[in-house]
Chains A and B, each alone.
Chain A
């Protein structure tokens, strides 16, 4: 799909990244709070939301999608399928992909947001996905946001959707992360500060030395969790890190500069200093219930989950393997590791990480979302506590409303697996 040419800035006012991308895609010079019909470059469906989107396209009487090369369908939430109903949903999606010519990612290929980032999302894109963590794509300088099945069905069928152009909150982050403190800790802290609806309808834009210095693996964590503060998008300006990531995945030619103008109008600017930030944990049952790891007291852990679209990347797995090497899990704590994609899984195999995981006493599962979303592969028992590197700890999230989920970084989760209780990872660095 060809992008419309850049729209001259008639109002002569600086624009945020969201305003720039939505101006380009609507062919109009738009600013925050305008309603626009915008061209959509990329659509994402997964096996929990895809079947309903397919049904809605049928109700619409639409048989062809506008841009099959921009649509990716993922079998990741039930991979491999634990039930016949879900196997039948997979058939629906396979048939849809075959009929329309869009991309299908089979069981084992990985979590939708990881693969979108590796293979599809580029700076300046509009990406809509029938999954709330579609905002992950903001790490690559795209306008990426989650919607429902019907919205994505219409976006596939018409090649466009409507938006209210969001106001942008600039998150300006200075300082340097201490050892043992990661992007995940920063996001749990930020969501704790903003609140679970502190950024509803807004775009967050992450800037400042502490953000610019982050590798793509860490930027993806931050954009991924923007929705947990209610945000529509969580965006980074594109830069040499973006370029290197695209190159690594054979897509260097997709690089373009995407940044807010110097005189862009932000709704507000929040300044944060990360120098003194400690490892953070979000306590049950909301993500914004975040506390420093050394302030939560003794919490017994029955299950550790390392994985998800938030923290299942190779960098995360290396970090975890480094902590686990030569150690054993607590005998009363079970451990699940789910690489975010087939590529991550392969790298983990080639670098000997899988051996470390197995020797430590962990179970390594097929790349996918099953444990995080409570479908299969790690459902908790009554009264059990899980420390998870995923992004949500809502009541019932991991399949049992009588269980408790604590969110943390891979390092904190890994350290907790050794002790069988929530543990400060700095003791193991």
Chain B
């Protein structure tokens, strides 16, 4: 599967408080409404301007902080196909895979805001169409690839009736 879209650049330490702010706590059971505020405190333009397929591109320790799964969920709901970062905080990373949002570690310094990107999860390759450059990334651990390929943890368990992780 090839994921295509343009890059939205963010810096280091994008916390789940920036992605899904606590002041919208009451919207957590209305994810579509909460998604209107996704990443609002990091980039107020993002939620209204993001297009389907676009990529969120962060720096180090993306998604640190709270375990709120609403954070990757509203990124996905906003139409984002994939999150790239130099590194991810552990819980965010696991949550992203569990809800079927690919999270990829790579050198994001080589990507600029607005660059057109094509990501091949199978090949572990990112084509920067704008800059005409290529980036490689290491495949996910096998357990996570299995969950992601099934469409997330709920689908994984529904399909196999149990964890099917080698």
Query: Are A and B bound to each other?
Result: yes
A interface vs B, CB < 8 Å? 35, 37, 48-49, 51-52, 56, 59-61, 77-78, 83, 85-86, 88-89, 92, 129-132, 134, 146-151, 153-154, 157-158, 160, 162, 164, 196-197, 200-201, 227, 230, 232, 286, 373-375, 379, 392, 394-401
Can you list 9 A-B contacts with CB-CB less than 8 angstroms, sorted by A residue number? A78-B25, A85-B27, A130-B69, A150-B95, A157-B157, A197-B61, A230-B61, A374-B17, A375-B25
Known: A151-B153, A396-B21. A86 touches B26 (CB 8 A): yes
Partner among B17, B99, B142, B163 whose Cβ is within 8 Å of the Cβ of A396: B17
Considering the complex of A and B, which 4 residue pairs feature the smallest CB-CB distances, nearest first?
A374-B22, A148-B69, A148-B95, A85-B26
Whether B67 contacts A394 by the Cβ 8 Å rule is no
Whether A35 contacts B89 by the Cβ 8 Å rule is no
CA distance A397 to B65 in the complex (A): 10
CA distance A60 to B161 in the complex (A): 9
**Which residues from A are CB-within-8-Å of B152?**
150
Known: A150-B153, A196-B61. A51 touches B29 (CB 8 A): yes
Whether A89 contacts B17 by the Cβ 8 Å rule is no
Partner among B30, B64, B98 whose Cβ is within 8 Å of the Cβ of A196: B64
Whether B141 contacts A164 by the Cβ 8 Å rule is yes
Known: A51-B29, A396-B18. A60 touches B158 (CB 8 A): yes
B165 proximal to A (CB < 8 A): yes
**Which residues from B are CB-within-8-Å of A396?**
17-18, 21-23, 41
**Which residues from B are CB-within-8-Å of A150?**
69, 95, 98-99, 152-154
Partner among A48, A148, A149 whose Cβ is within 8 Å of the Cβ of B25: A48
Whether B22 contacts A147 by the Cβ 8 Å rule is no
B135 proximal to A (CB < 8 A): no
Whether B157 contacts A154 by the Cβ 8 Å rule is yes
**Which residues from B are CB-within-8-Å of A52?**
28-29, 69-70
Known: A86-B26, A396-B21, A396-B41. A132 touches B15 (CB 8 A): no
Most buried by B among A134, A150, A154: A150
Residues facing A in B87-136 (CB within 8 A) are: 87, 89-91, 94-95, 98-99
CA distance A153 to B22 in the complex (A): 22
Least Cβ–Cβ distance between B127 and chain A, in angstroms? 28
CA distance A154 to B28 in the complex (A): 20
Residues facing A in B59-101 (CB within 8 A) are: 60-61, 64-70, 87, 89-91, 94-95, 98-99
CA distance A92 to B28 in the complex (A): 13
Whether A200 contacts B87 by the Cβ 8 Å rule is yes
Whether B94 contacts A147 by the Cβ 8 Å rule is yes
Residue-wise, chain B 134-166 has the 8 Å CB interface mask toward A (1 for contact) of 000000011100000000111001100011011
Whether A395 contacts B18 by the Cβ 8 Å rule is yes
**Which residues from A are CB-within-8-Å of B158?**
59-61
Q: Name which residue of chain A comes closest to B165, CB basis.
A: A162
CA distance A149 to B65 in the complex (A): 15
CA distance A149 to B27 in the complex (A): 16
CA distance A395 to B65 in the complex (A): 11
Partner among B25, B41, B154 whose Cβ is within 8 Å of the Cβ of A77: B25
CA distance A375 to B17 in the complex (A): 12
CA distance A158 to B165 in the complex (A): 14
Least Cβ–Cβ distance between B62 and chain A, in angstroms? 10
Whether B157 contacts A60 by the Cβ 8 Å rule is yes
Q: Name which residue of chain B comes closest to A200, CB basis.
A: B90
Least Cβ–Cβ distance between B26 and chain A, in angstroms? 4
**Which residues from B are CB-within-8-Å of A56?**
154
Known: A200-B89, A396-B23. A149 touches B69 (CB 8 A): yes
Whether A394 contacts B157 by the Cβ 8 Å rule is no
Whether B64 contacts A197 by the Cβ 8 Å rule is yes
Least Cβ–Cβ distance between B105 and chain A, in angstroms? 11
Partner among B69, B70, B165 whose Cβ is within 8 Å of the Cβ of A37: B165
CA distance A394 to B18 in the complex (A): 8
CA distance A162 to B158 in the complex (A): 16
Least Cβ–Cβ distance between A365 and chain B, in angstroms? 16
Whether A85 contacts B61 by the Cβ 8 Å rule is no
Q: Name which residue of chain A comes closest to B27, CB basis.
A: A85
Whether B23 contacts A148 by the Cβ 8 Å rule is no
CA distance A49 to B68 in the complex (A): 6
Whether A147 contacts B67 by the Cβ 8 Å rule is yes
Least Cβ–Cβ distance between B111 and chain A, in angstroms? 20
**Which residues from A are CB-within-8-Å of B18?**
394-396
CA distance A373 to B26 in the complex (A): 12
CA distance A51 to B25 in the complex (A): 12
- Known A85-B30, A392-B65; further 10 A-B contacts with Cβ < 8 A: A37-B165, A129-B67, A131-B66, A132-B67, A134-B67, A150-B152, A150-B153, A230-B64, A394-B15, A397-B17
**Which residues from B are CB-within-8-Å of A157?**
157
Known: A150-B154, A160-B163. A399 touches B27 (CB 8 A): no
Whether B67 contacts A148 by the Cβ 8 Å rule is yes
Partner among B22, B91, B142, B165 whose Cβ is within 8 Å of the Cβ of A148: B91
CA distance A160 to B162 in the complex (A): 10
Known: A147-B91, A379-B23, A395-B18. A48 touches B163 (CB 8 A): no
Residues facing A in B18-38 (CB within 8 A) are: 18, 21-23, 25-30
